[in-house]
Structure 1
Amino acid sequence: MAVVLPLLLLLLIGSSPTTRAAANGDLQTSLKPHAACSSGQVMPRDDRTRVPLYRLPGPCSPPSSFTGAAKATPSLADLLRRDQLRVDHIHWRLSESQGVGVSEGSVKEPVRFGVAYLHDQPVIQVRIGSESKGSVQQQQQSPPGVVQTVVLDTASDVPWVQCAPCPVPPCHPQADSTYDPARSSTYDAVTCGSPACEQLGRRYGGGCANGQCRYRVPFPNSNLSSSSGTYGTDLLAVGPNSGITFKFGCSHAEAGQGGISDSDNTTAGVMALGGGPESLVSQAAANYGNAFSYCIPAATERRPAGFFVLGAPPSADSSAYVATPMLRYPRVPTFYLVRLQGIAVNGQLLNVTPSVFATGTVLDSRTAVTRLAPTAYRALREAFRGWMAVYTAAPPRGSLDTCYDFSGAAFVAPPRVELVLERGNVLELDRSGVLFHDCLAFAPNSDDRMLGILGNVQQQTMEVLYDVGGGAVGFRRGAC
């Protein structure tokens, strides 16, 4: 599949610099999450690798996969605490490469943190293996394999799912049937000394046992928390008419308190989308092109789902994207970054020098709240508070220090917030990406030299296209 870089780069030079809302009236909305799911369907472009993407938990999540998840919805304080731990982990990983994007002493190795932070996380369902269940007619209507619900993670490299035998504990109970490699005729363990095993390296390699390659994925304190097991291959289907032979971690144990065994997790594992050679994106590049995209639906909407797509969109769709170059750090290939040049509030550019954003901004599908350099955040906060002066201020909520009491307001109209991307293209955030729990949905880093992180609250309702092979990122507003 052709990669869309040429058209995206043409957009960088020749497209209109901004997309505006039609009127302020379009920005007025109730910001409370809906409790019920509507019957309307969002139909993005037809693609053989397209699958629905859900928020966990949410009114439109598949009930069979998320039974009981809503009961464990964390408090805002706990959600923000876990969000900050993920941010700390990303900064720590980047600091391993000669202090990339950090100042000395500003980043410390984070304490115990797991992948169990699953409130408002993007998840998809895939099929792994060749095991078939049900009648012959049912098998003909759906492809073989075990359905597995996995978290999409753009900041990790090794995909993994829980595999039988996986006793609870140390494994966590999951809603889907556990994938059993012994029941799949197409499963093979990766052998010790093979190129695939050697590729795991020191970071992800877990040694050998009985001639089989072992993997280990730290979460992220490598001495306390991890997923580990056999590194194997089997068939993976993403979408109804797709399939590849897929290398992944077959997890038989999860170690460490505060890890994935927390009670709010019912998923099977993690689908890694990072830039490392082990990720789904790298493995599928020969079949579908070195690109992927997703659209995370807003929590304030009742639409059934967003979507995830492996591969690039048709070239005719390229004009719909606001595009910018993709940045990569060769010594830390996991992460995808873009560079901001400024931020505007209701069309007024903040007085922040572009050098404040020079280190870059990491795109992360699992961090919730966007992190900015303190200088940029203070300017945004001041402008935002000015436009929101008509509303009643509320006390800070954890790291969110600009909050409001909307109990007396039938509708809320936050100001338009736009991100000025490298080469001048401007991306207007959806109104749902401006406020989070009635607070400004941004937070400051502790140092201007630390990299920013564009979180999933700001990404929601947009298709975010990662043209990895072409070195560009595209944003398509109103995609889900």
Structure 2
Amino acid sequence: MANLSVLLMLACAAALASSAAGLRVELKRVHSDPGATASELTRRGMSWSGRKLTSLDDTLTAPTRKGLPSGGSYVMTLFIGEPPVAFLATIDTGSSTIITQCGSSPQYDPSSSPSFTELPCNSSLRPELCVDETCPCTFNQTYAVGWASGPVGVENFTFGSAVAGAGQGLAVTIAGIAFGCINESSGGWGVSSGLVGLGRRTQSLVSQLGAGRFSYCLTPFDDANSTSTLFLGPSAKLNGTGVRSTPFVTDNPWARNAYYYLNLTGISVGGTALDIPADAFALTSDGHGGIIIDSGWTTTALVDVAYQKVRAEILKLVTLPTVDASKETQLELCFKLPTDASTPAMPDMTFHFDGADMVLPPENYMFLGSGVWCLCLESATASSGSVLGNYQQQNMHILYDVENEMMSFAPADCTTL
């Protein structure tokens, strides 16, 4: 008899395919204080990114190397169980886990849902999800700021309020999604109730749906009202002359372990190519270094040798006095803005990937705070590697073609997608 988890995955893929255009899900940047200013919301996102960076030195074989979802993330609304119960979940390409808090109403209660079942003992997902070989299965994951544990089950998930290409007001329910049900945890979750991992592993939403590809377009950080968009399956595609494509790293056994590694060959600011060592962004044979793209990370982290080159170039271009605003912004290089002064004109910054240049306008690498203007990058150790965060992905439509091991991207007005 075929493994039950394989049959469930085939059923998920069939359900996704039956939505001819795939799935379209709305995303929002959600923060714990809806009355905060745009700059305050962005600053909190920087703080969140810094907290996550503390765990970068964890080994890649760990269940996850990230902190608990909190302010500064992009979240989607999902519905779980029968009858469907809504919950907010952070979308995260740097994780492959689907987890939600469980409990009494208004949280999802598996004992009240007739569609809930425990993960089958013969499921192929057990090695990725379960803490040991015990059945029923439980998970236990440690994060930078806490931990979460609970049973692993299978449920009906209802996605968003629309099917791509079919208009608003519709929803798609897919049975047989494996997930972790959090009944014990430490650390803060903020307004998010869980996590939807879009990573490479078999338990990720992308893998369980058999989607093959997905894309998203993230609205700017200082826009607290507009909606971002996630596309799953056939609806995930890019059109136009501005599309650029670069392959994911696949020639290293660590590259397919969990994350989406890219081959970054250099960085330019304006017309100046920075003198960064050729191997600064290389993924080593023991799994250290490299650069991943991560929708759940805020501020791009560059290995220090690269960060210092970028920092030095910015200091050449900006003649304003520097100021220590790290406590307020979580950023290391900040300039003091005179009262009522506008920010200086800055050139684009370009990340040179294998076969594709990603051009970042100034608003994608500089942060305007209260009286300060900061370089929105941070330093990382050589062993932990680099991360392309979501601040640098603003107004960029990014396609992950997992099936063909390619990432494509194009500048876009994400508020109109």
* TM-score bin (small chain): 0.7 to 0.9
Q: Describe the SS at the equivalent of 1:89.
A: coil
- Structure 2 partner of 1:39: none
The yes-or-no answer on 1:374 pairing with 2:304 is yes
The equivalences for 1:147-166 within 5 A come to: 147-165=86-104
The residue that corresponds to 2:404 in the other structure is: 470
Q: Secondary structure at the match of 2:326?
A: coil
Q: Deviations over 1:269-301 (max 9, x none)?
A: 11111111001000111xxx3111112211223
Give the 3 Å change call, closer, same or farther, for CA 352–208 of structure 1 in structure 2: closer
Letter in 1 for 2:96: D
Match of 2:352 in 1: 420
Asked if residue 283 in structure 1 is aligned to residue 235 in structure 2, the reply is no
Highest relative contact order (Cα 8 Å, sep 6+), 1 or 2?
A: 1
Q: Match for residue 30 of structure 2?
A: 56
- 1:89 lines up with 2:55 in the alignment: yes
Q: What do the CA deviations read for 1:175-202 (whole angstroms, capped 9, x no partner)?
A: xx312334433322223x2224xx232x
SS at match of 2:97: coil
Select 2:116's aligned residue among 164, 187, 209. 187
Q: What is the TM-score when the length of structure 2 is the normalising length?
A: 0.78
Q: 1:303 Cα deviation (Å)?
A: 5.1
Deviations 1:127-182 (A, max 9, x none): 22231xxxxxxxxxxxxx2222111111222201122348xxxxxxxxxx312334
Corresponding position: 1:451 with 2:362: no
Provide Cα deviations, 1:380-400, integer angstroms capped at 9, x if missing partner. Answer: 1111111112x3422251563
Residue in 1 that maps onto 2:16? none
Cross-structure match for 2:73: 121
Per-residue CA deviations over 1:20-51 (Å, capped at 9, x if unaligned) read xxxxxxxxxxxxxxxxxxxxxxxxxx955112
Shift of 1:93: 2.9
% identical equivalent positions: 22
Worse-superposed segment, 341-350 or 78-87 = 78-87
Structure 2 CA distance, aligned partners of 1:474 and 1:435? 24
CA distance in 1, matches of 2:139, 2:154: 9
Cα distance between partner residues in 2 of 1:468 and 1:92: 25
Q: Which amino acid aligns with 2:53?
A: V
Is the alpha carbon distance of 1:416 and 1:181 closer, same or farther for their aligned partners in structure 2, counting shifts above 3 Å?
Answer: same
Task: Report the Cα distance in structure 2 between the residues aligned to 1:473 and 1:212, rounded to whole angstroms.
Answer: 38
Using the TM superposition, give the Cα deviation of residue 455 of structure 1 relative to its aligned residue in structure 2, in angstroms.
Answer: 1.0
Partner of 1:178: 107
Counterpart in 2 of 1:22? none
Q: Which whole-Å CA distance do the structure 1 matches of 2:238 and 2:393 have between them?
A: 23
CA positional deviation for 1:249: 3.0
Distance 2:55 2:183 in 1: 22
5+ residue gaps in structure 2? 1-19, 164-171, 284-289
Residue aligned with 1:367, SS: coil
Aligned pairs (5 A) from 1:15-26:
none
Q: Distance in 2 between matches of 1:268 and 1:295?
A: 22
1:460 matched residue in structure 2: 394
Which residue identity is paired with 1:346? G
Counterpart of 2:153 (choices 209, 226, 231) is 231
Structure 1 partner of 2:9: none
The TM-score with structure 1 as length reference comes to 0.69
Q: Is the 8 A contact 1:228 1:249 kept in 2?
A: no
Change in 2 beyond 3 A, CA 1:410/1:78: closer
Aligned CA-pair RMSD: 3.3
Cα distance in structure 1, aligned partners of 2:225 and 2:46: 25
1:441 corresponds to which residue?
Answer: 376
Change (3 A) 1:94 1:215: closer
Post-superposition CA distance 1:325-364 (Å, at most 9, x none): 1125545621111111111111221122332222331111
**What amino acid does structure 2 have at the position aligned with 1:348?**
T
Query: Paired residue for 2:226, among 301, 304, 308?
Result: 304
Compared CA separation, residues 74 and 240, structure 1 to 2 (3 A): same
Distance 1:91 1:279 in 2: 22
Task: Determine if contact 1:362/1:454 at 8 Å carries over to the other structure.
Answer: yes
Distance 1:465 1:275 in 2: 14
1:394 corresponds to which residue? 323
- Are the aligned partners of 1:51 and 1:309 in contact in 2 as well (CA < 8 Å)? yes
Alignment counterpart, residue 408 of structure 1, candidates 326, 330, 339: 339
Q: Determine if the alignment matches structure 1 residue 431 to structure 2 residue 362.
A: yes
Kept after mapping to 2: 8 A contact 1:297/1:305 = yes
Alpha carbons 2:300, 2:386 under 8 Å: kept: yes
| Offset at residue 81 of structure 1 (A) | 5.7
Gaps of 5+ in 1: 1-45, 58-65, 98-108, 132-144, 167-176
Q: CA deviation at 1:376?
A: 1.5
Query: What residue is the counterpart of 1:105 in the other structure?
Result: none
CA distance in 2 between partners of 1:181 and 1:96 (Å): 27
CA 1:478–1:95: 2 relative to 1, 3 Å: same
The separation in 1 between residues aligned to 2:182 and 2:403, in whole angstroms, is: 34
Which letter maps to 2:257? P
**In the alignment, does 2:140 pair up with 1:200?**
no
What amino acid does structure 2 have at the position aligned with 1:476? A
Partner of 1:415, secondary structure, is coil
| Other-structure match for 1:32 | none
Q: Give, in whole Å, the separation in 1 of the partners of 2:310 and 2:139.
A: 43
> What is aligned with 2:286?
none
More helix by share: 1
Task: Classify 1:316/1:270 alpha carbon distance in 2 versus 1 (closer, same or farther; 3 Å).
Answer: closer
Asked if 2 retains the 8 angstrom alpha-carbon contact of 1:159 and 1:248, the reply is yes
> Which residue in the other structure is 1:338 paired with?
262
What amino acid is aligned across from residue 115 of structure 1 in structure 2? Answer: L
Aligned mates of 1:314, 1:281 — CA distance in 2: 12
Residues 1:313 and 1:94: Cα distance change in structure 2 (over 3 Å)? same
Cα deviations across residues 243-268 of structure 1 (Å, max 9, x unaligned)?
Answer: 32242335242333xx235xxx1222
Q: Secondary structure at the match of 2:27?
A: strand
Contact 2:28/2:228, CA 8 A, preserved across alignment: yes
